[in-house]
Structure 1
Amino acid sequence: MLPSLYSGISGLRANQQKLNVVANNIANSSTTGFKTQSMNFEDMISQNLSDPSAPSAGLGGINGKQSGLGVKVGSINTDFTNGSMQTTNRNLDFALDGTGYFVVKSGDQEYYTRDGNFVLDKSGNLLTQDGLYVQKKGGGNINIPVDGTISSFSVGKDGTITLKYADSTKPSTSDQQIELASFQNEGGLVKMGGNLYSTSSNSGNPVYGTAGDGSFGDINQGMLEMSNVDLAQQFTDMIIAQRAFQANGKIISTDDEVLQDLVNLKR
């Protein structure tokens, strides 16, 4: 068989995967806290048609001859830059302006998210939309009492939760602070779906802290971080991948015609 046939097939596969990445980015262009992914290609191993030789016996050096055997997916990278902030005026929405992740738990399993679209249950626990418990500094679930004794609450830029009581003579309390986590290698985090990440052997262990402390960003109440997908860039990448896919398909069609001509030589 013609080697170019297999090169064309590898091109179809690689560009189909690029289209998958672009399609996922576009589908999540309105997903809270979503981070864009991009894909890079690598050439596959080359076939040596002749080896290089050093100058000798009055002859100059000769370069080797290599023929490429196709393409493969080199990497799929995530762009962790901040998305734009959208005002919601909802007191249970929180946007991180800077680095860091909210720490949430399901049982003993810990996850990390940029999605600050939280809710309260009937016991006053602060939860993600899927029911995972938001964690506070020092460990434990954040709890905002929902009885009649609390008139309102607010969250400062440092993540401190202040409770105001219906009894105006009772002073406000601020004994809970939202915990954040950061990682040595964000690119090593594993996407778990539901806007959640988990650690991997290459992400490093989480470093815990609070908003505004060190490299951690501020928490903005009443706002959400939008997706950082650039639709113009995604449409451009889609066109490039589509044209590359069509070109590789043309290679296969051309190889088929060549093989057909070879078969017809016997006639």
Structure 2
Amino acid sequence: MLRSMYSGIGGMKNFQTKLDVIGNNIANVNTYGFKKGRTVFKDLVSQQISGASAPTTTGLGGTNPKQVGLGATLGAIDTVQTQGSLQTTGRTLDVAISGNGFLMVQDPTTNETFYTRAGNLYLDGNGNLVNEDGYYVLDNTGNKIASITNADSISIGADGKIAVVTNGTLNNSRQIGIAVFPNPDGLEKVGNNLYRATPNSGVVAMKIPNNGGAGKLVSGALEMSNVDLSEEFTEMIVAQRGFQANSRIITTSDQILEELVNLKR
């Protein structure tokens, strides 16, 4: 069977995956804190027809190896952790991270810690600072931020300190923490704007915002998705044409096989 047919099949699968990633990017163009994905391809092993030879003492030059590539495969699906634009909301409990790092939230049912760039925060009925799913927001020591009750006013500084005024008394002892990873691209997406640490993301460092390499917090704003629609539509055209070209390889290979079969009638 022709090798080109199997190369075409592999190419079609790869471009289908690329289209899946592009579709997910476009679907999340307005998702707060979303980071777009990127597909990377690499070539498969090449079949050796003949090896290389060195120049001889009789004056003949060397020859290069002859190889036939066997197609392409998926190399990686990267998460592009570039900064998204900040959208002003004017809401006090909306915070955006300008720079590196993630907000830390804890699932109250499993106590598992997740990480997010989506800063639309809320207060629950007990005065705990939570995200939209009711996960506790953590400070730089890994403890939940609680007991924000009966406040006359609340404000959040660039360093994450929460200034709570109650009956004319200021309390700014609470502070939102930022998680920084050696390899943020190694985090695993788990849905709901959340990430989970993996063995390749490195050891998490819990830091104070705007300190030690952590980004600062911008109150009254949210980070938008870093998806660029013009780029995604261009990549969609490239993927579509790549898929069509690989399907044409299969069609042409089929025509050649048909001619071979028709040689004997």
What is the TM-score with the length of structure 1 in the denominator?
0.95
Deviation at 1:100, TM superposition (A): 1.0
**Number of residue-to-residue matches in the alignment:** 262
- Cα distance in structure 2, aligned partners of 1:191 and 1:95: 19
Aligned to 1:108: 111
1:16 aligns to what SS in structure 2? helix
The answer to whether the 8 A contact 1:137-1:176 is kept is no
Aligned to 2:24: 24
Deviation at 1:57, TM superposition (A): 5.2
- Cα distance in structure 2, aligned partners of 1:156 and 1:144: 18
Uncovered stretches (5+) of structure 2, i.e. residues with no partner = none
Aligned to 1:99: 100
Aligned to 2:63: 62
- Cα distance in structure 2, aligned partners of 1:192 and 1:95: 20
Aligned to 1:142: 145
- Cα distance in structure 1, aligned partners of 2:120 and 2:156: 14
The answer to whether the 8 A contact 2:142-2:206 is kept is no
- Alignment counterpart, residue 229 of structure 1, candidates 211, 214, 227: 227
Deviation at 1:265, TM superposition (A): 1.1
2:235 aligns to what SS in structure 1? helix
Identity of aligned residues (%): 47
Counterparts of 1:1-267 in structure 2, within 5 Å, are: 1-56=1-56, 58=58, 59-106=60-107, 107-147=110-150, 150-165=151-166, 167-168=167-168, 171-267=169-265
- Cα distance in structure 1, aligned partners of 2:51 and 2:198: 42
Deviation at 1:74, TM superposition (A): 1.3
- Cα distance in structure 2, aligned partners of 1:88 and 1:195: 19
2:142 aligns to what SS in structure 1? coil
Uncovered stretches (5+) of structure 1, i.e. residues with no partner = none
- Cα distance in structure 1, aligned partners of 2:64 and 2:148: 76
Deviations 1:1-44 (A, max 9, x none): 10000010111011111111111111111110111111111110
What is the TM-score with the length of structure 2 in the denominator?
0.96
1:172 aligns to what SS in structure 2? strand
Distance change >3 Å, CA 140–CA 57, structure 1 → 2: closer
Runs of 4+ in structure 1 off by over 6 angstroms are: none
Distance change >3 Å, CA 57–CA 136, structure 1 → 2: closer
Question: CA RMSD of the aligned region, Å?
Answer: 1.2
- Cα distance in structure 1, aligned partners of 2:229 and 2:259: 45
- The residue type paired with residue 16 of structure 1 is Q
